[in-house]
Amino acid sequence: MIGVLVLRRRLVELLGGMAASGLTGGNVMDGTESTLNLLAQIEDETDLPVRLRLAPWCMPGDDIDERIALQGRRGRRWEVAAVKFFIDGTVEGGTAWLEHADCLGQNTDALWLDTEEYTEAVRRFAAAKVQTATHAIGDAGVRHVVDGFQGVETHGIRHRIEHLETLPIDQVRRLVATGLVASMQPSHTAYTKADHSDAWSTRLGTERANRAWRCRDVRESGGILVLGSDWPIAGYDAREVLGFARLRRWPGTDIAPVTPEQALTGLMALEGMTTQAAIADGTASHAGRIAVGCRADLTAFAVDPVDAPADELADAPIRLTVSAGLITHRAG
């Protein structure tokens, strides 16, 4: 068992690595008592290199009032400010929720056996003005989340759907019209192949594999698109995420891109980790951009993150990272 002192040191080192890649803050899909206590203990000794926004899980049968009561718990550089749901699992594991079965006859069920119980739960959080973030990979899962928020008063809070791996364009447009945020991870395309020979594509078949991670369609439909890594499933490096968003393949390689028509421009990619992220978190009035009166979250790249070739951006030096006015990384 890892000792508490070792765990504290490792977490600070990990967050320091994130800051060195340019990250100033992040969303953490965790909010257990042990995690919150660990963060409080670290702040008794030092500052967290990255600001953290935590979302405790809400699973079938969990106490909703208890999760609501956790909201607002905070330290100097962390706070509980959302709740995380899972409507399904993964395509490769056969546990995603698809409209039609995969080639093995799997991926047809929701994680919540009573899907209306899920809908009732997210609506209770919406009424309590608590942001929800729902893991929904399959097209049926995304549809159900969108259905659940139809006509719901959200009090200006932007509720999120995480991953959205395969989606028809009509569901993209419905999601956008409902005001939900698409939270996507461009680096997950590294686990697929353009020729559809990987397990994810084989299970789905060509038609659904061609609907992979529709980042560009979300933006062109007028939606809010937040980019992230889903660490530790993929690397946390912010530059790598930006590179994948523009290339749809591993930066620095000649691998064929996955659904290249979904690639973002350099500006769109940067917005996904700055201004669009601030809109999703409800902090756009004072964060996500460099302006008088805004929170001092700043990252100084050695190259222009918008105009530099994406292959060069992925490993370009970060000269300086400032998180809410605190210098968390300085090169050299």
Statement: residue 1 has pLDDT above 80: no
Please, what are the domains in the chain?
A: 4-330 (3.20.20.140)
Helix (H) or strand (E) holding 53: strand 51-54
User: What values do phi and psi take at 86, rounded to 5?
Assistant: -125, 120
pLDDT at residue 41, as a whole number: 96
The model's pLDDT over 106-118, given as tens digits with 9 standing for 90+, comes to: 999 999 999 999 9
The model's pLDDT over 17-73, given as tens digits with 9 standing for 90+, comes to: 999 999 999 999 999 999 999 999 999 999 999 999 999 999 999 999 999 999 999
The model's pLDDT over 137-166, given as tens digits with 9 standing for 90+, comes to: 999 999 999 999 999 999 999 999 999 999
Contacts within 8 Å (CB) and 24+ apart, 181-184:
181/223, 181/224, 181/225, 181/226, 181/279, 181/280, 182/215, 182/218, 182/223, 182/224, 182/225, 182/226, 183/133, 183/226, 183/228, 183/280, 184/213, 184/215, 184/218, 184/225, 184/226, 184/227, 184/228
Averaged pLDDT score across all residues of the chain? 97
Residue 48 exposed, middle or buried by CB count within 10 Å (0-12, 13-18, 19+): buried
pLDDT tier, 282 (very low <50, low <70, confident <90, very high otherwise):
very high
- pTM for the full model? 0.96
pLDDT tier, 2 (very low <50, low <70, confident <90, very high otherwise):
low
pLDDT at residue 332, as a whole number: 80
